[in-house]
């Protein structure tokens, strides 16, 4: 990390604070209120939280700003994980005495639909002196400071990586304290990153293609599962943002449970369904058979295989002699899926921040 560059920006940040003490006092009060709210949910209270309380708990997170309909996200998490299990795992993530990296790995391995941004924000609010907050802006700011080996995608964000980043952000907090910001903690560093380190060059770099592993079938089994699940979930997010009813692990025909679907209802005429199968490890024959079964549903108008360039070429070759599938099959490189998701996420975050559609609408 470039400490000289960091100290320059800290000095600029503190100069802004001295010039606008009222504005920075409001930020400080907001940090204290957010921390107090999440810290008030002790392990016992959290595990006995009701569905409405859980909805409020999640809706307050900055990570939820990309969703105009936050209740949709909450309902999906409850449906996919079960509320008692979700609350138990969440309380263990926050309050367990196990090392932080182990808590992180256990949670991400057992709970569907909660990514690093949401996990880290909850941890940071509950433990602002020990846990950092990770999101796209944190990536931009830390990348600008020259922090190496930053995770670009969720599957790269292991417990060990999160623990290492907490140490890095703690270094930033210590530099801020040394230069006179005595109230700094890791949540305050997030405010600093947002206010001072969102430089134009780094924001532009954020959307340059960053390659994931070249061949998904070459990665270890555990990583393969995380890549598969991240791509599957982001396909569903993209569909939702485009106005489809999207779902994951959905049965669309006898014997065909597919990774993701986009569904639209056309007036009173019926449904149109697009099916997505993500291939990391496993048999191509199984993928092809599942897509053929999906096409037995007349509402399925298109099927999409999602993988890396090497696997997609193998899939095209395998289906070349299967006309009923060949003519319907589309192929989508999974790195492109991740890039499209990042771009749409940025658009929806900006639009939703305008508050054009009230939550009660």
Residue 271: CB partners within 8 Å, gap ≥ 6? 263, 264, 265, 299
- Could you give the CA distance from residue 260 to residue 263 in angstroms, rounded to a whole number? 10
Contact of 122 with 93, CB cutoff 8 Å: yes
92 lies in the same domain as 193: yes
Could you tell me if residue 272 is inside a domain? yes
230 lies in the same domain as 188: no
Residue 182: CB partners within 8 Å, gap ≥ 6? none
Could you tell me if residue 211 is inside a domain? no
Cβ of 30: how many Cβ atoms within 10 Å? 12
318 lies in the same domain as 297: yes
Asked whether the CA dihedral 23, 29, 31, 33 is positive or negative, the reply is negative
Residue 22: CB partners within 8 Å, gap ≥ 6? none
**157 backbone dihedrals φ, ψ, rounded to 5°:** -95, 85
Query: Which whole-number Å values give the CA distances from 351 to 148, 327, 344, in the listed order?
Result: 32, 37, 10
**208 backbone dihedrals φ, ψ, rounded to 5°:** -75, 140
Contact of 196 with 13, CB cutoff 8 Å: yes
80 lies in the same domain as 228: no
Q: Using the 8-state DSSP alphabet, how is residue 147 labeled? A: -
- Could you give the CA distance from residue 315 to residue 321 in angstroms, rounded to a whole number? 11
Strand pairing class (256-266; 270-278)? antiparallel
- Could you give the CA distance from residue 278 to residue 308 in angstroms, rounded to a whole number? 10
Place of tokens 């604070």: 17
Domain end point (choices 206, 239, 264): 206
257 closest CA partner among 282, 281, 286: 286
Q: Using the 8-state DSSP alphabet, how is residue 297 labeled? A: S
231 closest CA partner among 149, 115, 328: 115
* pTM of full prediction above 0.85: no
Owning domain of residue 328: 216-347
Q: Using the 8-state DSSP alphabet, how is residue 355 labeled? A: T
* Angle of CA points 106, 276, 326, to nearest 5°: 145
290 lies in the same domain as 150: no
Contact of 242 with 262, CB cutoff 8 Å: yes
231 lies in the same domain as 188: no
42 lies in the same domain as 158: yes
Cα separation of the two ends of the chain: 46
85 lies in the same domain as 157: yes
52 lies in the same domain as 123: yes
Contact of 338 with 231, CB cutoff 8 Å: yes
Domain count, the chain: 2
Spans of the chain below 70 pLDDT: 200-224, 269, 352-353, 355-361
202 lies in the same domain as 223: no
270 lies in the same domain as 303: yes
* Angle of CA points 193, 197, 202, to nearest 5°: 125
In the structure encoding, which two tokens stand for residue 14, read together? 């503190």
Domain end point (choices 149, 179, 206): 206
131 lies in the same domain as 51: yes
């Amino acid at each position: 990390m470039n400490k000289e560059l960091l100290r320059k920006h800290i000095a600029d940040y503190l100069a802004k604070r001295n010039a606008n003490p009222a504005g920075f006092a409001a930020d400080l009060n907001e940090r204290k209120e957010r921390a107090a709210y999440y810290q008030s949910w002790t392990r016992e209270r959290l595990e006995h939280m009701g569905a409405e309380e859980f909805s409020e708990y999640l809706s307050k997170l900055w990570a939820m700003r990309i969703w105009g309909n936050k209740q949709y996200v909450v309902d999906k998490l409850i449906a996919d994980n079960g509320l008692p299990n979700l609350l138990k795992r969440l309380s263990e993530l926050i309050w367990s005495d196990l090392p932080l990296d182990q808590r992180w790995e256990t949670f991400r391995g057992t709970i569907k639909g909660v990514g690093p941004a949401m996990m880290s924000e909850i941890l940071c609010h509950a433990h602002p002196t020990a846990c950092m907050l990770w999101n796209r802006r944190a990536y931009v700011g830390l990348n600008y400071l020259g922090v190496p080996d930053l995770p670009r995608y969720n599957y790269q964000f292991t417990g060990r990586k999160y623990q290492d980043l907490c140490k890095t952000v703690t270094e930033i907090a210590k530099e801020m304290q040394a230069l006179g910001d005595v109230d700094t903690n890791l949540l305050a560093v997030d405010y600093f990153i947002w206010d001072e380190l969102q430089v134009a060059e780094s924001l532009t770099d954020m959307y340059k293609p960053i390659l994931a592993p070249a061949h998904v079938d070459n990665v270890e089994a555990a990583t393969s599962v995380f890549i598969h699940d991240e791509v599957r979930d982001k396909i569903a997010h993209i569909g939702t943002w485009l106005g489809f009813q999207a779902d994951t692990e959905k049965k669309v025909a006898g014997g065909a449970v597919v990774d993701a679907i986009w569904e639209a209802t056309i007036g009173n005429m019926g449904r149109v369904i697009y099916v997505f199968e993500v291939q990391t490890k496993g048999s191509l024959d199984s993928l092809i058979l599942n897509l053929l079964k999906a096409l037995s549903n007349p509402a399925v108008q298109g099927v999409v295989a999602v993988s890396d360039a090497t696997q997609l070429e193998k899939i095209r070759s395998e289906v070349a002699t299967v006309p009923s599938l060949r003519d319907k099959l589309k192929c989508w490189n999974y790195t492109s899926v991740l890039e499209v998701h990042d771009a749409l996420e940025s658009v929806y975050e900006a639009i939703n921040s305008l508050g054009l559609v009230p939550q009660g609408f």
